[in-house]
């Protein structure tokens, strides 16, 4: 289906991004390509999708050379692409129109298009939003829509670039179920990712680093080699392998692992485990929210396309508090209203109903006071490139302090401070931010906000799409800023970060607040009402407690390894 023959690539003749890559993907295979941020994964996707031509070597799709312009229509009939940032491929104003775009361009009959669109939207969980505006979808819903467009095209081969990066755990499971069915039906799948959970369904795994293959082999062989390649095994895989090493039979699933532990099955049938208290203490949270709020949100409601036939209410009377100098994580399923809520905090969205107080006064909606609010409250978007508009990193970091009237020397000091704060060196100042890796773009986006010295930093999915190295850098940075007194607000599906670092959590469900408080007090509530939404390792712990085994309700793998 896809052949890479000694492919090399560089942007504008600069540093080589891909070097001498060769690969054969057979019809019906599911191949997962791993790589850290900056390894060349997204560039590889563009080459396989005939959106970029190799600088050297060749790429073939179904026997067609991607450099042959006359073959592009045939290539795109066979090949479906889903990009890391869904905004770059959504072209229809309405959800169902966007999903229909590819089959319409292929000349498919109208009745067949209707069947394909309905089926694709149902598979990705968007059938109830087929008449909604694409622009009103959340980031995760847009990612589902991009996948629906590829499914409606009935492509023989799908190339997916981080297709679940913006999704909540349930959304990831749903997408994985769709991919599993497609694979079983004979569709070839090439999935580019850095999430090791995506390896579960692969026939073959390849690891990319510095534009070169550094490893390839079967899924089972990869689990053995993962740590030596610099990858941290998913907690559920680690626990499954640990149990297997001591002879406890399990199938690697949440229910299978829980059942195996509770029943203590050994390979020879003898019981292995007994109920007992683990040697580790129950998890504790080192930070506690203060009673002094930075923001007070009261009865906040918001609708897209208000007073029109397609009005969509996304916030429904939310009341909550954001503690000053603490870290608040806002959790919730894709489309629950998280991004809409935080974009009210610096008045990017105007209040339709309700109020938001900052320092006990209503947040301004216009004028000079609004400018001051946006200096105090910095917002980092879900996709960093949405807030870049300068040709170089230096100009990007200079914009905010210049906008606030810093003197020339103060601007330079602010730029240098922001760059140091996120751990980047001066070599980045002359680079184009749009040509950086995903992790580097995220750091520059944070630096561009920090350069104005805000009191509060609000970030939408700050770790989405990042490898473990960059994720740890972001988490460490936000922890340090919180410890220095800044108020941190994160919208996230990164539960490990939220549970480990937050002082305060807010859970949204379908535009409503369903929980607010500490992590420790909230875990039982979260599990009772949103069990499938929670991390797999936490669900294992909950199952063990339900089954009578005295373990802590924990998201930390090491607290279960005593088993």
CATH of the domain at 479: 3.40.50.300
Query: Do residues 99 and 121 lie in contact, with contact meaning Cβ atoms separated by under 8 Å?
Result: yes
Query: Do residues 401 and 415 lie in contact, with contact meaning Cβ atoms separated by under 8 Å?
Result: yes
DSSP state of 508: E
Does residue 549 share a domain with residue 511?
Answer: no
Does residue 491 share a domain with residue 461?
Answer: yes
Does residue 57 share a domain with residue 80?
Answer: yes
Q: Which residues contact 292 (CB under 8 A, 6 or more apart)?
A: 323, 324, 325
Range of the domain at 457: 326-351+363-517
Does residue 225 share a domain with residue 240?
Answer: no
Residue 370 burial (CB < 10 Å; 0-12/13-18/19+)?
middle
Whether the full predicted model's pTM is greater than 0.75, yes or no, is yes
Q: Are strands 377-380 and 456-460 parallel, antiparallel or unpaired?
A: parallel
Does residue 78 share a domain with residue 24?
Answer: yes
**Pairwise CA distance, residues 122 & 148, whole Å:** 9
**Which two structure tokens, joined as six digits, stand for 380?**
């980092």
Does residue 477 share a domain with residue 497?
Answer: yes
Q: Which residues contact 530 (CB under 8 A, 6 or more apart)?
A: 507, 509, 514
Question: Cβ–Cβ contacts within 10 Å for residue 395, how many?
Answer: 17
Which of 211, 230, 249 is the endpoint of a domain?
Answer: 230
Mapping DSSP to helix (H, G, I), strand (E, B) and coil, where does residue 513 land? Answer: strand
Do the domain assignments include residue 69? yes
Do the domain assignments include residue 357? no
**Pairwise CA distance, residues 71 & 462, whole Å:** 40
Instruction: Output the pLDDT for position 413.
Output: 92
277 phi/psi in degrees, rounded to 5: -85, 135
Does residue 280 share a domain with residue 223?
Answer: no
Do the domain assignments include residue 105? yes
Do the domain assignments include residue 317? no
Q: Can you spell out the DSSP letters for 381-427?
A: -SSGGGG--SSSHHHHHHHHHHHTT--HHHHHHHHHHHHHHTT--GG
Do the domain assignments include residue 529? no
Query: Residue 193 pairs with which residues in a beta bridge?
Result: 34
Helix (H) or strand (E) segment spanning residue 219? helix 219-225
Which of 188, 208, 230 is the endpoint of a domain?
Answer: 230
Do the domain assignments include residue 309? no
Does residue 210 share a domain with residue 66?
Answer: yes
**Which two structure tokens, joined as six digits, stand for 254?**
């949440």
Does residue 272 share a domain with residue 405?
Answer: no
Do the domain assignments include residue 291? no
Does residue 340 share a domain with residue 218?
Answer: no
Q: Pick from 98, 171, 153, 108: which is nearest to 129 by CA?
A: 98
From first to last of its 563 residues, the chain has per-residue pLDDT tens of 999 999 999 887 677 889 999 999 999 999 999 988 888 888 999 999 999 999 999 999 999 999 999 999 899 889 999 887 788 889 999 999 999 999 998 889 999 999 999 999 998 889 999 998 898 887 778 888 998 998 899 889 999 998 887 777 777 887 888 888 889 989 999 999 888 888 988 999 999 999 999 999 999 899 889 988 988 888 888 888 888 888 888 888 899 999 888 886 544 444 444 444 443 444 444 444 456 899 999 999 999 888 888 788 999 999 999 999 999 999 988 889 999 999 999 999 999 999 999 988 999 988 889 988 998 999 999 888 788 989 999 999 999 899 888 898 999 999 998 998 888 889 899 999 988 877 788 889 999 999 988 999 999 999 887 888 888 888 999 999 999 999 999 999 888 899 889 999 999 999 999 999 998 888 887 787 777 778 888 889 888 888 888 787 877 777 776 55
Do the domain assignments include residue 295? no
User: What size, in residues, is the chain?
Assistant: 563
Does residue 113 share a domain with residue 94?
Answer: yes
Domain count, the chain: 3
Does residue 276 share a domain with residue 339?
Answer: no
């Amino acid at each position: 289906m896809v052949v890479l023959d000694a492919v090399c690539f560089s942007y504008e003749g600069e540093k080589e991004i891909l070097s001498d890559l060769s690969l054969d993907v057979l019809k019906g295979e599911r191949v997962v390509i791993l790589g850290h941020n900056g390894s060349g994964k997204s560039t590889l996707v563009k080459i396989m999708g005939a959106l970029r031509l190799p600088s050297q070597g060749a790429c073939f799709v179904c026997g067609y050379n991607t450099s042959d312009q006359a073959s592009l229509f045939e290539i795109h009939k066979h090949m479906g692409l889903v990009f890391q940032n869904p905004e770059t491929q959504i072209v229809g104003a309405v959800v169902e129109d966007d999903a229909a775009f590819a089959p319409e361009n292929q000349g498919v009959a109208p009745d067949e298009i209707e069947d394909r669109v309905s089926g694709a939207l149902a598979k990705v969980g968007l059938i109830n939003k087929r008449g909604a505006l694409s622009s009103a979808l959340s980031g995760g819903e847009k990612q589902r829509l991009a996948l629906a467009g590829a499914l409606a095209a009935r492509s023989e081969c799908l190339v997916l670039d981080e297709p679940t990066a913006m999704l909540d755990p349930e959304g990831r499971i749903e997408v994985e179920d769709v991919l599993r069915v497609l694979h079983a039906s004979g569709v070839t799948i090439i999935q580019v990712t850095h999430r090791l959970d995506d390896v579960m369904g692969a026939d073959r795994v390849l690891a990319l680093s510095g534009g070169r293959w550094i490893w390839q082999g079967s899924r089972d062989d990869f689990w053995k080699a993962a740590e030596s390649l610099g990858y941290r095994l998913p907690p559920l895989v680690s626990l499954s392998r640990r149990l297997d090493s001591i002879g406890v039979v399990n199938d690697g699933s949440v229910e299978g692992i829980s059942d195996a532990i509770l029943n203590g099955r050994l390979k020879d049938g003898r019981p292995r485990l007994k109920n007992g208290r683990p040697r580790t203490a129950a998890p504790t949270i080192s930070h506690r929210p203060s009673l002094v709020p930075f923001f007070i949100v009261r009865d906040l409601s918001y609708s897209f396309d208000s007073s029109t036939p397609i009005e969509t209410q996304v916030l429904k009377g939310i009341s909550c508090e954001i503690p000053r100098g603490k870290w608040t994580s806002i959790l919730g399923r894709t489309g629950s209203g998280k991004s809409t809520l935080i974009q009210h905090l610096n008045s990017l969205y105007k209040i339709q109903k309700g109020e938001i107080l900052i320092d006990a006064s209503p947040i301004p909606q216009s004028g000079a006071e609004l400018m001051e609010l946006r200096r105090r409250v910095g917002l980092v978007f879900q996709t960093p490139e949405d807030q870049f508009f300068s040709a170089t990193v230096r100009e990007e970091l200079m914009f905010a302090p210049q906008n606030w009237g810093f003197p020339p020397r103060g601007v330079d000091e602010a730029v240098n401070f922001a760059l140091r704060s996120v751990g980047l060196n001066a070599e980045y100042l002359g680079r184009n931010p749009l040509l950086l890796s995903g992790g580097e773009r995220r750091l520059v986006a944070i630096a561009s906000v920090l350069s104005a010295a805000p009191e509060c930093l609000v970030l939408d999915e700050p770790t989405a799409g990042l490898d473990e190295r960059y994720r740890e850098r972001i988490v460490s940075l936000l922890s340090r800023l919180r410890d220095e007194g800044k108020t941190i607000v994160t919208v996230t599906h990164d539960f490990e970060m939220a549970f480990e670092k937050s002082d305060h959590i807010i859970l949204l469900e379908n535009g409503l607040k369903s929980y607010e408080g500490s992590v420790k007090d909230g875990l039982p509530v979260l599990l009772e009402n949103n069990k499938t939404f929670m991390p797999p390792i936490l669900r294992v712990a909950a199952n063990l407690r339900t089954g009578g085994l005295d373990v802590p309700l924990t998201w930390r793998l090491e607290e279960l390894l005593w088993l």
